[in-house]
A and B are shown apart, each in its own frame.
Chain A
Amino acid sequence: MAKRIEASNVSSYYGSFKAIDSVSMVVEPKTITALIGPSGCGKSTFLRSINRMHEVLPNARIEGSLTIDDQNIYDPDVDVTAVRRLIGMVFQRPNPFPTMSIYENVVAGLKLNGVKKKSVLDDAAEQSLKSANLWNEVKDRLGRPGAGLSGGQQQRLCIARTIAVEPQVVLMDEPCSALDPISTLAIEDLMFKLKDRFTIIIVTHNMQQAARVSDKTGFFSIDKTGDPGRLIEYDDTQKIFSNPTEKKTEDYITGRFG
């Protein structure tokens, strides 16, 4: 179920603007990797490069190579929609489809993939909602609008929607930044549970969160505004937070970084 992501010398551009410079990292299957760093340092850009979501913006491109189990994600012959099915994504703000019910939201991805059979969809909806720790809260109101849930529930709904299509890798772009601490904990618990099945990469501004949930941590930074972001240090989470090699990492983690 889970696959390995390998980035080597990935540079990402928006038009002529270089957003990240030469990032290399290997993400092992069934681990949680946290990407931390100040705003505008390219963590999200790197994350969106992995499932080619950054291509939604015009003139976006990358240099270097990104592979999933040794297959090139950016191979010109690869279907970009297939990449995104393989590598799911959860966004910063919960974004359930406002016109759809809870049930319809969860099975939206499956329907896009041509699954029509009601029994299959029902099963998948129940399994995904259970995996997302949301089933007990919504099982009696699956036909109600997804946007009517609380923020934390909506985010878990979005996670259920993402894992319903059974991706190999789940990317999370600051999934808790719009949530209260209790919902945040619920999502973190969920991440531990999902780790058995998926490779998870999470961008977060919350360093306690990175320390709590992740196996490995990558620290991104920029020298000054307008410069491309770089991966400063990438190591076991424990090492990053207790004994980082780089001075910059230590400054950031201890709060001495601007």
Chain B
Amino acid sequence: MGDNPSRSENATAGDLGVTGRHARGAGTGVSPSSYEEPPFGGGGALPKKTRFGMEAGFKGLSVAAGAMVLVIIVAIAVFLISKAVPAINADTENFLTFNQWFPNETQPRFGIAVLAFGTVLTSIIALLVAVPIALGIALFLSHYAPKRLATPLGFVIDLLAAVPSVVFGLWGRDVFMEPVRNFSAWLNEYFGWIPIFGGDGPFGRSVLLGSLVLAIMVLPIVTSLSREVFMQTPGMNEEAALALGATKWEMVRTAVLPYGKPGVIAAVMLGLGRALGETIALALTLGVVFNISFNIIENGGNSIAANIANAFGEANETGRGALIASGLVLFAITLVVNMAARAIIYRRREFRDSAA
């Protein structure tokens, strides 16, 4: 009881044109009931908390959004599994190791081995080509290029990310194939003793072509994310490196690259996700051969997503189930890749967290 009146006395004294100190000194007490609006600082009884306000509303919305992710993931998994299991049961060969794909016959025979191998091979080659180039571009844009050049160039890179994959596929098939074929023949002539460049043709619609087209598609994602990460390097860390006598490249190696590493890994994983799931560009550029081969320049190659696009139209009930089963495998591969990336980032979390 003692607190409330004295607080309101101070607060309302201002309204009467008398400062609180004067009011108290003169002994002109103002009763709590005489004011009409409590001041911002409070006064009177503590207000009740709002039961249904913005606060609760936003909390509910964000919880719902978070829950929706789980629901969607579970729904997809249930769909994939429920369709895939009957087809795999109908398979007369081992689904994981068999090298052919005849799910539409009365005795369905199909296996994921070739497709999974082709998917991983094309994606890995695409990343091997794209990541070094992307990091080079990202470093150039963030630390070497003058601003006048970096801004438009960054914009062009982002534009490259907006090109639809079917356009890349058509371009790869109609334009890019010729130079790749010539390049493959050259590789075959001089480096034919390396098994991946061996064989006697024909060349062209090969894993190499598919991978290079994929690399071009992955490039802008990895570039723009890495550039963002590199640009966030604290200026004071760059200065610290320079003040120790680092050259620009040494500064980049000491301060920029280690700081950006988790972000770069995330960028590469996003790129890998795109490469693994890419459908139409690969369907248009790969030779579609069911055969596990490390030769990357001869006609051939296949991938899970490309196979789904090529075979779905002619598939019967079991055939569709088989394709969905291959989709399940793709889902699993992507999951494993993502978890591996998380693990890499997680290992150094102590350093990242304390840096903030």
Contact = CB atoms under 8 A, between A and B. Distances in A.
B247 A99 contact: no
Contacts of A53: 239, 242-243
A56 B244 contact: no
A161 B241 CA distance: 10
Contact of A88 (B243, B254, B258, B259): B243
B355 interface: yes
Interface centre among B234, B240, B350 (most CB of A within 10 A): B240
Which of A95, A99, A112, A147: most chain B Cβ within 10 A?
Answer: A99
Contacts of A158: 240
Given A97-B254, A99-B258, A99-B259, A162 B244 contact: yes
B237 A81 contact: no
A81 B246 contact: yes
B237 A98 contact: yes
B16 to A, nearest CB: 38
Contacts of B242: 53, 56, 84
B354 interface: yes
B258 to A, nearest CB: 4
B351 interface: yes
Nearest to B262: A99
B250 A51 contact: no
B236 interface: yes
A195 interface: no
A97 B255 contact: yes
B245 A113 contact: yes
Contacts of A97: 237, 240-241, 254-255, 258-259
Contacts of A85: 244-245
A53 B237 CA distance: 13
B342 interface: no
A145 interface: yes
B245 A147 contact: no
Contacts of A91: 236, 239-240, 243
Interface centre among B234, B254, B352 (most CB of A within 10 A): B254
Interface residues of A, number: 30
Contacts of B255: 97
Interface string B211-249: 000000000000000000000001011011111111100
Given A91-B236, A95-B236, A145-B350, A84 B258 contact: no
A68 B85 CA distance: 79
A89 interface: yes
Contacts of B239: 53, 56, 91, 95
A109 interface: yes
Contacts of B247: 81
Contacts of B352: 98-99
B13 to A, nearest CB: 36
B254 to A, nearest CB: 6
Contacts of A56: 239, 242
B236 A100 contact: no
B261 interface: yes
A93 interface: yes
Given A56-B242, A82-B245, A89-B243, A95 B234 contact: yes
A89 B236 CA distance: 12
Of the candidates B247, B250, B258, B351, the one having the most CB atoms from chain A within 10 angstroms of its own CB is B351
28 contacts: A53-B239, A53-B242, A53-B243, A56-B242, A81-B247, A82-B245, A84-B245, A91-B236, A95-B236, A95-B237, A97-B237, A97-B241, A97-B258, A98-B259, A98-B352, A99-B259, A99-B351, A108-B241, A108-B254, A109-B244, A109-B245, A112-B245, A112-B250, A112-B254, A113-B245, A145-B355, A161-B240, A162-B244
